[in-house]
Amino acid sequence: MQKEIKQTWHFNQSPKEVWEYLTKPELIEQWLMKNDFKPVVGHKFCFTHAGKNKCNYDNTTYCEVLEVKPFTKLSYSWNGSTEDKSRNFNSTVVWTLAPKNNGTELQIQHNGFTVLEDVLNHTTGWDNCLQKFAEHINS
Amino acid sequence: MQTQTLDVFQVIADPSRRQMMQMLSKDSMTINSLAENFDMSRPAVSKHIKIMYNAGFISIKDIGRERHCTLKQDGFNELQEFIDYFDKFWASKLKKLETLLNNKSKK
């Protein structure tokens, strides 16, 4: 079973250029979704999806900026629910940028769902994870 | 007893239920032997069992007078579906970003 959502991508552009696409609302919209993002810790914003998706999630994802380190790291909470509001999910998206081979290595980690994994792993507890999650939120 | 149907996330949100699943991950157990490990009434334990059963996390088999609980894959599959969904979601979005950036540098 897959343990986490983690992807690494390489782009030929500089971290500064990639960063713009992660932090400017009009640029984010071009590849992700409509949003009212601002690169300010504590800023609450939404992503709005167009149309339906397979898992029937609600069309709005509620987020709060958790960390902003220009050209290096960006994270926000990623919370939403299903259309019928029967199920909510909380998670955290973390972007990491590093210069590599005259370009940028961009990594995304979408965590918080990993609390689910702990039930299967039996190593660390759910409470540990929630605590970590809370630390992220509070930091 | 009224049966409660909770979704997979609500099911694993409860610490007692998570503990029960952890114990069941090692071996199947009877409801009685599970109950011995918890400081709660037998009906309360049964209620948790029922919730996990309804969400597809465990199966229950009657052997003699005992009810045996075994972990079941179904509940976990739904969690996996969630992870798969977002993994694909980001892959497609980042592909789009890659295309955007490449088109930009050609200009």
Q: Is residue B1 part of a domain?
A: no
Cβ atoms A122, A8 nearer than 8 A: no
Distance from CA of B47 to the nearest CA of A (A): 19
**Structural domains of chain A, with CATH:** 5-138 (3.30.530.20)
| pLDDT attached to residue A114 | 40
pTM for the full predicted model: 0.65
Number of domains into which chain B is organized: 1
Q: Is residue B15 part of a domain?
A: yes
Predicted ipTM of the assembly: 0.72
Give dist(CA A22, CA B105) in Å, integer: 17
Q: pLDDT by residue (tens digit) across B42-80? A: 999 999 999 999 888 899 999 999 999 998 888 777 777
Q: Check residues B85 and B94 and name the one with the higher pLDDT.
A: B94
CA B56, B60, B64 angle in degrees (round to 5)? 175
> Domain range for residue B33?
8-106
Structure tokens at A138: 């509070």
Best probe of the A interface among B82, B95, B104, by most A CBs < 10 A, is: B82
Distance from CA of A11 to the nearest CA of B (A): 7
